[in-house]
Amino acid sequence: MKSGDGQHFEQSYSVQAGVDSEGSMLVLGQYAASHANDKLELGPAVKCVGTDIRKRVNNRQYGSRQKK
């Protein structure tokens, strides 16, 4: 990323998290990106949350164990 004064570049990472924003605020997934801003990070943030976890969140089944 470009530094604040624009004189040099710094190796930086932006840590992103997928969070249940409608209830527990539980962190459901995370990843690191090397982009300067997070304008395009919504898609990858959704993808970092596993499909099984997304189904449980949609059904509000935190911590419950379903028999397969």
Domain extent listing, the chain: 14-58
pLDDT attached to residue 5: 76
pLDDT attached to residue 67: 54
Dihedral pair phi/psi, residue 50, rounded to 5°: -60, 155
pLDDT attached to residue 37: 78
What distance in Å separates the CA atoms of residue 55 and residue 41, rounded to the nearest whole number? 21
What distance in Å separates the CA atoms of residue 5 and residue 23, rounded to the nearest whole number? 41
Percentages helix, strand, coil for the chain, rounded to the nearest 5?
A: 20, 20, 55
- Tens of pLDDT along 9-64? 777 788 888 888 877 888 888 988 888 778 888 888 888 888 888 787 777 766 55
What distance in Å separates the CA atoms of residue 43 and residue 15, rounded to the nearest whole number? 14
pTM for this predicted structure: 0.54
